[in-house]
A and B are shown apart, each in its own frame.
Chain A
Amino acid sequence: MSLTFLVPLFLAGIAGIVVPIIVHLTRRQRRNVVHFPSLMFLEKIPYQEQRRRRIQHWMLLSMRALALILVAAAFARPFFDRSDVAGAAGGGPREVVVLVDQSYSMEIGDQLDRARVEAQQIFDGLGPLDRASLVTFARGAHVLARSTSDRVRLRGALDTLTLSSGATRYGPALKVAQTILEESTLPSGEVYLMSDFQRNAWSGDEGVRLPPGSRVVPVALSEEEPELDNVMVTDVSLPRQIVSGRERVTPTARVVRRGGTESRDVTVRLEIDGQEIQSLTVELEPRSAAAVEFQPFTLSQPHTTGTVRLPPDALTADNTHHFVLSPGTSLDVLVAESAGAPSDVSLYLRGALQITDDGRFDVRTRRASTIRPVDLDGVDAVFLNDVAIDGGSAERIRSFVEGGGGVLIALGQSGGWPASAADMLPGRIGSIEDRTEGRGGRLGYLDYEHPVFEVFAGPRSGDFTGARFYRARGLELSDSAGVLARFDDGSVALAEVRIGRGRVLVWTTSLDAFWNDLSLQPVYLPFVHRLAEYLGGRAEPVPWFVTGQVVDLADPDALETAGLVSSEAAGLAEGLDQVALDPRGGSTSLPAGSGPRYLPLDEHGFYTIRQPGSDPDRPFVMAVNVDLEESDLSRIDPDELALQVEMPSVAGEGPSLGGEAVALRREDQERRQAIWRWLLGVALGLFVLETVVSNWVSRRRAGAPGAARG
């Protein structure tokens, strides 16, 4: 161990000590001049030249010189080289990354406390040249301390470790560790993965590969897979009914019990707007499930919060299930049909729109080829069912669509569209194609990504293949048109074009039973409902979100999906700042701007969105529930996980203990010892002391004879 300097060039600054010597001598000469009546006698006395060059205040000079030497030495960054000591210890410096699982399953037992202890032990065991990072993770990963040798900082980061409401995902955390190790210049890396190692958290195709020379050390915080008697609420269905003009909701909670050895009673409580309104007890067998149906309650207020709550157990996060409901609003639908058409031309269509539990459609019918402005007042969607309207009506329809309305044009025998407004259609209407011979046509293609058909995407969610189509009008698509459905011969069945804020759909066959038998199929009713809702721009509100999802609060559609009834009522006018209060009481500022306002939903509970400083009666609330995958505590073999992400070392690959590493060690040693701070501190003290002493000397000199006139 020897004293050496990181930047020895600065030692040249020691030559600067001649400056105080020169100042010391010249200043004395300059300052002390005594005016004397005559030098007649003094000039006769011989004197020696060296007298004026004599230094009287050696202490001052020494302090100045020493201070300068210390400053120069500090800039040269001295340190005691312990490279030999470190080399003897073996292994070389390490880049250590500690990944701590903070998913809500970590609340079982004392796993989080154990994680703190284990991490602290790892940090305490760091060598003088090692660096460490602390990363917490659940669905995402957060770096609390990145590649530092400052143990105080690491300890401080460890103290901030808390549980989250997220589910475990190893992929993001290991990706972060991979990045830290790849950026590190230290020769070896270690990743300590502290978790309860749930199988759901790792799929194996995350694409994580740690750099060669690094290894994963799994730290299982529980010895074995815990045998928990865990009861959870997995789902709540919220069917609505209109009873006596009022909307009533009948919540039904699905309660699942995992584990356990014998049956037991579980009390399930329903809270509405924070008040418990019902409590039911259900007997649950081990590893069983039950549906708990509560009594209906009247839904009269927007943004009504509800919670289904179970008694606390070992895993409490899945014992509650939150939701938000608002009273539904009906959609005004105008069905226009030709004046001379048969009376039952819209029989199936009107019937389908009127058959709802919650009365969500308010249907009006007009039998005329003219659409008056009053007909469109308050209307959300228009069905032009086999009617040929005039040019003026088409222009009124255009204004209606541009303002956000939706129109479906069903082309039957009498249907038509004025040529003056042909640009409103997704294509040019052609002649009637007759497929009455044989078994007729079928729908061969449906765009299940489209909102109209997405509810039919799942298996047994609606079968369109049973419908037969015997006649249809040809449609020559324009460039801006989109096709939602085609017949099996490739011709267009349903096409769409957007105009302004609204949309125009063309159904090339009839909506009744004249040209097809779709209206006789079970899928007809939901199909018409979806068409009406899509035309009316109505989005299905989501009663709750799952932790990890992100909502763009600047997007009106997203807000409507989240259950926002009225922006004005909730005080969320556009262009104003917003603030989101999370379930833990923290607030997130969402300033107004032209871009999106993303709000990550990381905690389970209720998020309240409002304007800063406002206190609306019924603020906009979003419910967030935990991801129930985390409740499945089945484990993965930690070693298997480690093997999947480690890359075996190959000769010649990866960083080595070369010159760069040695240089780094010198810098690390210097930074760790930080002798320069002490030197600068002492130099500063010397400068202060020198100032005090020199002032004292000056004062004495000022009091001496001759100085008053000097």
Chain B
Amino acid sequence: MSTLRPRHAAAGTRFLDPAVLGRIGNLELLARTVVDGFLTGLHRSPYLGFSMDFAEHRPYNPGDDIRRIDWRLYARTDRHYIKLFEADTNANFSVLLDLSASMSYGSHSLAKLDYARYLAACLAYFSNKQRDRVGLVTFDHEIVDYVPPSMKHLDTILHTLDRAKAGRPGSLEAPLLKITEMLARKGILVLISDFYEEPDRVLNAVAPLRARGHDVIVFHVMDPYELEFPFEEASGFEDLETGEQIPVIPSKLRGDYLAMVRAHLADLERRFTDNRIDYTLLDTSKPLDEALFRYLLSREKLGKVR
């Protein structure tokens, strides 16, 4: 009886490996480790400074970057001045985290919810570092916790994430509708879920957010076993949310299952894209940097559009 093993994270991404991160108990420390390490690796990236605006001039000091000298001012005053920029702190950044029971699944040491919590923490820390107002909404079939966006709420968000537990059945439509009503000011919304609903219903739930002017970024979190279905033994499969159990012979059903999953993912991606919602499928066995890259890419695109 062979077992299909999940692919492991590539070497060199030690700080972003979910398995390594799983051993860090403090979410703030985790987020700082991930984000700082991530940014250090990207210090020459063209995306740096996307949210900076001019603030003031100051005299040039030896050692300052000469690229930042304001040559126009030099032409007028014959003195060297450096341009100082100020971060844009006006954006509202909220994470919408799915706490349905299906998120508690994990074939290895890290469950989907853990992965999602790490991701949410990293994004919140990252955004807070960019002087965004950060908020958090957790939900299953209703709103579980709501942390309004604020510059000072990072600690509260991390604490809320730390005690977040999945256990109840979930649905998207009702809680997202309520979130639409709660978040009056436009902002950046990151929705993290496993989307175990029909694509039509998912879109029906997410589309109102987009319609209210929010920039929505969707992270679809999936376990490698959900994506590859490597089970061999004939077993009874029990739904984590409903408790329903059916007998399954994996070897007989694997092909059908994988085809249906692929179709589901493709359908979701197509519909999200059609609605100008950035969609990213995340495999919990892969490092977090992919998710962070996708997020930064999305922010850049949003910036360009603006």
**What is the interface of chain A, defined by CB distance below 8 A to chain B?**
28-29, 32-45, 47, 51-52, 54, 56, 700-701, 703-707, 709-710
Which B residues between 124 and 162 are near A, CB-CB below 8 angstroms? none
A37 contacts B237, CB within 8 Å?
Answer: no
Within the complex, the shortest CB–CB distance from A48 to chain B, in Å, comes to 9
- Residues of chain A within 8 A (CB-CB) of B231 are 34, 704-706
A37 contacts B240, CB within 8 Å?
Answer: yes
A35 contacts B3, CB within 8 Å?
Answer: no
Given contacts A33-B235, A47-B247, contact A42 B241 (CB under 8 A): no
- Offer 9 A-B interface pairs, CB within 8 angstroms, sorted by A: A29-B236, A33-B237, A36-B240, A38-B196, A38-B240, A41-B264, A42-B237, A42-B253, A703-B3
A704 to B244, CA, bound (A): 22
A34 to B244, CA, bound (A): 11
- B248 at interface, CB cutoff 8 A: yes
- Residues of chain A within 8 A (CB-CB) of B194 are 37-38
CB < 8 Å: which of A39, A51, A701 contacts B252? A51
- Residues of chain B within 8 A (CB-CB) of A42 are 237, 246, 248, 253, 257
A710 to B234, CA, bound (A): 12
Given contacts A41-B257, A41-B260, A47-B248, contact A701 B233 (CB under 8 A): yes
Instruction: With CB as the reference atom, state the residue of chain B lying closest to A41.
Output: B260
Instruction: With CB as the reference atom, state the residue of chain B lying closest to A56.
Output: B234
- Residues of chain A within 8 A (CB-CB) of B235 are 32-34, 706, 710
**What is the interface of chain B, defined by CB distance below 8 A to chain A?**
1, 3-4, 101-103, 105, 107, 112, 194, 196-197, 223, 225-226, 230-242, 244-249, 252-253, 256-257, 260-261, 264
Given contacts A38-B102, A45-B256, A45-B257, contact A32 B233 (CB under 8 A): yes
7 A-B pairs with the lowest CB-CB distances in the bound complex, closest first: A37-B102, A32-B235, A38-B196, A37-B105, A52-B247, A41-B260, A39-B239
Given contacts A41-B261, A47-B247, contact A705 B237 (CB under 8 A): no
CB < 8 Å: which of A37, A54, A705 contacts B196? A37
- Residues of chain B within 8 A (CB-CB) of A703 are 3
B230 contacts A705, CB within 8 Å?
Answer: yes
- Residues of chain B within 8 A (CB-CB) of A707 are 233
- Residues of chain B within 8 A (CB-CB) of A52 are 234, 247
Given contacts A45-B253, A705-B230, contact A33 B240 (CB under 8 A): no
Within the complex, the shortest CB–CB distance from A506 to chain B, in Å, comes to 110
- Residues of chain A within 8 A (CB-CB) of B252 are 47, 51
Instruction: With CB as the reference atom, state the residue of chain B lying closest to A701.
Output: B233
Within the complex, the shortest CB–CB distance from A306 to chain B, in Å, comes to 93
Main secondary structure, interface of A, reads loop
A71 to B50, CA, bound (A): 83
Instruction: Kindly name the residue among A42, A54, A703 whose own CB sees the greatest number of chain B CB atoms within 10 A.
Output: A42
CB < 8 Å: which of A34, A40, A44 contacts B236? A34
- Residues of chain A within 8 A (CB-CB) of B242 are 39
- Residues of chain B within 8 A (CB-CB) of A44 are 260
A705 contacts B105, CB within 8 Å?
Answer: no
Within the complex, the shortest CB–CB distance from A34 to chain B, in Å, comes to 5
A420 to B165, CA, bound (A): 115
B232 contacts A705, CB within 8 Å?
Answer: yes
Within the complex, the shortest CB–CB distance from B20 to chain A, in Å, comes to 20
Given contacts A34-B235, A37-B239, 20 further A-B contacts (CB under 8 A): A28-B234, A29-B236, A33-B235, A33-B236, A36-B238, A36-B239, A37-B194, A37-B226, A37-B240, A38-B102, A40-B196, A41-B257, A42-B237, A47-B253, A700-B1, A705-B4, A705-B230, A706-B231, A706-B235, A709-B105
- Residues of chain A within 8 A (CB-CB) of B247 are 29, 47, 51-52
Within the complex, the shortest CB–CB distance from A111 to chain B, in Å, comes to 78
CB < 8 Å: which of A39, A47, A700, A705 contacts B244? A39
B239 contacts A51, CB within 8 Å?
Answer: no
CB < 8 Å: which of A35, A41, A706 contacts B240? A35
Instruction: With CB as the reference atom, state the residue of chain B lying closest to A43.
Output: B246
B260 contacts A36, CB within 8 Å?
Answer: no
Within the complex, the shortest CB–CB distance from A450 to chain B, in Å, comes to 102
- Residues of chain A within 8 A (CB-CB) of B239 are 36-39
A43 to B242, CA, bound (A): 13
- Residues of chain B within 8 A (CB-CB) of A37 are 101-103, 105, 112, 194, 196, 223, 226, 239-241
- Residues of chain B within 8 A (CB-CB) of A32 are 233-236
- Residues of chain B within 8 A (CB-CB) of A35 are 105, 237-238, 240
A51 to B241, CA, bound (A): 25
A51 contacts B107, CB within 8 Å?
Answer: no
A34 to B249, CA, bound (A): 11
Instruction: Kindly name the residue among A32, A37, A51, A54 whose own CB sees the greatest number of chain B CB atoms within 10 A.
Output: A37
- Residues of chain B within 8 A (CB-CB) of A43 are 246
- Residues of chain B within 8 A (CB-CB) of A28 are 234
- Residues of chain A within 8 A (CB-CB) of B246 are 39, 42-43, 47
Given contacts A47-B249, A51-B252, A704-B1, contact A34 B238 (CB under 8 A): yes
A28 to B234, CA, bound (A): 9
Within the complex, the shortest CB–CB distance from B58 to chain A, in Å, comes to 56
B225 contacts A705, CB within 8 Å?
Answer: yes
Instruction: Kindly name the residue among B223, B237, B242, B253 whose own CB sees the greatest number of chain A CB atoms within 10 A.
Output: B237
Within the complex, the shortest CB–CB distance from B192 to chain A, in Å, comes to 15
Instruction: With CB as the reference atom, state the residue of chain B lying closest to A46.
Output: B256
- Residues of chain B within 8 A (CB-CB) of A54 are 234
A39 to B240, CA, bound (A): 9
Instruction: Kindly name the residue among A35, A47, A51 whose own CB sees the greatest number of chain B CB atoms within 10 A.
Output: A35
- Residues of chain B within 8 A (CB-CB) of A701 are 233
A32 to B1, CA, bound (A): 15
- Residues of chain A within 8 A (CB-CB) of B102 are 37-38
- Residues of chain B within 8 A (CB-CB) of A34 are 231, 235-238, 248
